[in-house]
Amino acid sequence: NGGKLVAVRDHGGAPGTVIEARSLFFNVPARRKFLRTENTEFAHVEQQLRLHAIANPQVAFTLTHNGELVLHLPATRDMLERIRGLVGDELASRLLKVEETTVHGVTVSGYIGGPGMSRSNRQMQTTYLNGRPIESASISYGLREGYHTALMKGQYPVTFLFIQMDAQAFDVNVHPAKKEVRFHDGNSVRDAISRSVSHTLENAAKLPTGHAPARAVPAIPAAARVPLVPDSRQEQFAMPVAASSAPLRNIAPSPASTSQSQPAVSHRVADVLERIAAGRSTPAIQPQAPEAATPQETQEEEETQAPAKAQPAEPPEYRIIGVLQKLYVLMEGKEGLVLMDQHAAHERVNFEKFRRAIESGGVPCQRLLLPVTLQTTPRDADLLKQNLPSLNRLGIEIEPFGPNIFKVETLPAFLKTDDPAAWLDQVIEELSSLSTKSSSLRLSEDAIATIACRASVKSNDVLSIPEMQALLKDLFACEMPYCCPHGRPTLVQISTSELERKFGRRAPG
C-alpha cells in the first residue's frame, strides 16, 4: 500500500481471475506530473502488450481504452497467426520463416522480412531472448550483416526473431527496464544471427509484391515448356540495341561483328574482374578477339568455380510483354503481372560475378606513388595483423612499419578516392564490426557494388528480346535474385487477384 508491503499470503485464483491496478501515482504526484500526453502513454502501453503477445501466442490478450476495444487476440499455437493478428495479413504473408538452427550454443528461429522489405526505423525489428523482448548492439550487427546487400542503407529489417541460449551467457542487469542485455560472447550471437538470416534469404522463393503475396512457381517439365515469347511476336519486339547498352552474357555476336578486325584485350576493371572470375590469368601481350562463351562453356566454368553448390533452379516461365519507360520489363506469369528493373537485375548479376572474382583469386591492385603510413591504436594494430591475408586478397598490400604503425603500398585498382588514409580508416572501422575472418571479404563489396552499377545497363538502354531472356536467366542463377546490391527489388509481382480487385471484378477481402 503506497509502496509498503502490507501482507503476503496465498490466494486461490481460478482461471479468468481479473487483477486490477489503479491510482498508480497517488503518492508520487511529481512523477505523474512528468508523464507525456494520454495518447503517448497509451502508445507505450500498446507497444508493451504487442511485444508480450508475440512472445506468448498461447495466451489470449484483450486491450480496451476508454471503453473501446483496441485489440483482441485469441490464443493460438501458430506464431504466424499471432503475428498476422497484430500486423495484418498482407505483411505477414510476405514474411520468411527462419528454421530453428543452433550455432555456438545459440538457437535462432522466427520470421523475417524478405528482400526489399524494410522500414525507416526499428519499430518492426523485434527480438526475444529466452522469451524476453530485448535490444542489443550485437543483434543489430548480426541482422545488418545477415541482410547485407538485401537491405538499403538507412533502412531496418522487419524481424520477429527468437533466441534461446544459456542464461549464464548474458547479463540482463544493464538497463533499469531490462531492455538491453550484454552477452559474454557477442561475436557468437552475431554470427549465429547472421548465418540464420543469410541462409533464409538465400533460400527465399517469394517475389517482392506490390500488393498481394506471391507464391513459388512450380517447376514445369522440359517437354511441356513453351518459349518465353512466341515466334509470331518476335518481330514485334525486335528492338535495336543502343550503342551505349552493355552486352549481356550468353548473347552470341552477329556474323558482321565477328568478321571485323580483332580488338585488343580490354583492361577495364570490370573485364579484368570477369577474367579472374572465369579462372583466367592476366591478359596476353598479343591482342586477340574475345570469344563469346556458349551456354555449355559457361556452365562448365560455373561448375569449376563452385563445385560444392547445387545447380541453379530454372527460372519461372514468364512471357515478355514489353518494356515500360525503357527500364521496366513487363512479363506475364502464372501468378499475374511481373515487372523487372533491367538495371537492378543486371547490377545483381554483375555484382555476384565480381564478388566471385574476389573469392577465387583476389582483385587487381594499383601501386601508390607514395606509400601511406597509418598510426593506429594497439587494438586496431592487432586487428590489422589478424586480417593481413584477407586484406591482401582485397588488393590492399599492408605491412607493419613500427610499433602500431603500418605501411600501405597498394590499393584496389577499382577504388577511386582522393584520400586513401581516410578510406583505410573506414576499412579498420568495418573490420572491428565483423564477427568472423571470412566476413572480411565483404569489406570491398561496397566498392564492388559501385563497379557493378557502372557496368550495368541503364534505364534508357534498349535491350532485345534475347538479351532480356538471358538477363532473366542469369538473374535467377544468382544467390539472391530478388534485390540489387543496394537492397532495391529487381522483380515486383502484382497478382491477378489484385488486378481483378482494382478493376472491380472481385470484391475486396
CATH number assigned to the domain comprising residue 102: 3.30.230.10
Co-location of 272 and 233 in the same domain: yes
Strands 170-171 and 336-341: unpaired
CATH of the domain at 462: 3.30.1370.100
Sole residue written with cell 569489406: 443
Lowest mean pLDDT among 47-51, 65-69, 252-256, 449-453: 252-256
Say if residue 235 is in the same domain as residue 328: yes
Based on the fold, state whether residues 165 and 181 are members of the same structural domain.
yes
Same domain, 51 and 158: no
Is pLDDT above 80 for 210?
A: no
Lowest mean pLDDT among 80-94, 248-262, 391-405, 454-468: 248-262
Tens-digit pLDDT profile for residues 282-316: 333 333 444 444 444 444 444 444 334 445 556 67
Residue 23 forms part of a structural domain: no
- Alpha-carbon distance 226 to 436, whole Å? 46
CB 295 within 8 A of CB 284: no
Q: Is residue 284 one of the residues assigned to a domain?
A: no
pLDDT, greater one: 285 or 51: 51
Model confidence pLDDT, tens digit, residues 143-152: 988 888 888 8
C-alpha distances in Å from residue 62, one per residue of 51, 70, 71, 82, 491: 14, 8, 5, 13, 39
Domain check: are 105 and 143 in the same one?
yes
Least reliable range by pLDDT among 150-164, 351-365, 427-441, 479-493: 427-441
Same domain? For 374 and 484 the reply is: yes
pLDDT at res. 14: 83
Tell me, yes or no, whether 39 and 101 share the same domain. Answer: no
Domain extent for 110? 79-202
Question: What is the structure's pLDDT at 283?
Answer: 38
Strands 68-73 and 397-402: unpaired
Choice between 390 and 38, residue whose per-residue pLDDT is larger: 38
Q: Is residue 139 part of a domain?
A: yes
| CA end-to-end span of the chain | 51
Question: What mean pLDDT value characterizes the chain?
Answer: 76
The separation between CA 294 and the C-alpha centre of its own chain, rounded to angstroms, equals 31
In a shared domain, residues 66 and 189: no
What global pTM score does this model have? 0.61
Residue 384 is assigned to a structural domain of this protein: yes
Distance (Å, rounded) from C-alpha 479 to C-alpha 202? 6
Cell of 50: 504487442
Q: DSSP string spanning 149-208?
A: GGS-TT-EE-EEEEEE--GGGEE-TTSTTS-B-EETTHHHHHHHHHHHHHHHHHT-----
Query: How many domains does the chain contain in total?
Result: 3
- Is 286 within a domain? no
State the pLDDT confidence band at 434, using cuts at 50, 70 and 90.
Answer: low
The pLDDT, as a whole number, for residue 126 is 93
Q: Are residues 382 and 497 in the same domain?
A: yes
Which tens digit of pLDDT belongs to each residue from 340-366?
Answer: 999 999 999 988 887 887 777 766 788
- Flag whether pLDDT at 167 surpasses 50: yes
**N residues, the chain:** 509
User: Which of 42, 73, 104 is the C-terminal boundary of a domain?
Assistant: 73
Whole-number pLDDT of residue 232: 39
Least confident window among 73-82, 154-163, 254-263: 254-263
Pick the residue with more confidence: 182 or 447?
182
Sheet holding 405-412, edge to edge: 365-375, 405-412, 397-402
63, 92: one domain: no
Mark which of 73, 105, 139 sits at the end of a domain. 73
Q: In this structure, is residue 292 part of a structural domain?
A: no
DSSP 354-390: HHHHHHHH---EEEEEEEEEEE--HHHHHHHHHTHHH
pLDDT in tens, 53-72: 999 999 999 999 988 999 99
Q: Would you place residue 392 in the very low, low, confident or very high pLDDT band (cuts 50, 70, 90)?
A: confident
Q: What pLDDT was estimated at residue 444?
A: 60
Residue 47 CA: distances (Å) to CA of 40, 111, 122, 245, 369: 11, 19, 13, 50, 58
Parallel, antiparallel, or unpaired: how do β-strands 68-73 and 61-65 relate? Answer: antiparallel
Task: Indicate if the pLDDT at residue 432 is higher than 60.
Answer: yes
One domain, residues 325 and 190: no
The answer to the question of residue 13 being in a domain is no
Give the residue carrying C-alpha cell 481460478: 14
Pair 104, 53 in one domain: no
pLDDT level of residue 383 (50, 70, 90 thresholds): confident
pLDDT band with cut points at 50, 70 and 90 for residue 389: confident
Residue corresponding to grid cell 527489388: 489
pLDDT in the model for residue 508: 62
The domain boundary residue, chosen from 21, 55, 73: 73
Flag whether pLDDT at 368 surpasses 70: yes
121: in domain: yes
Residue 23 pLDDT > 60: yes
Q: Phi/psi class of residue 34: alpha, beta or left (left: φ > 0; alpha: ψ in -120 to 50)?
A: alpha
- pLDDT for position 261: 40
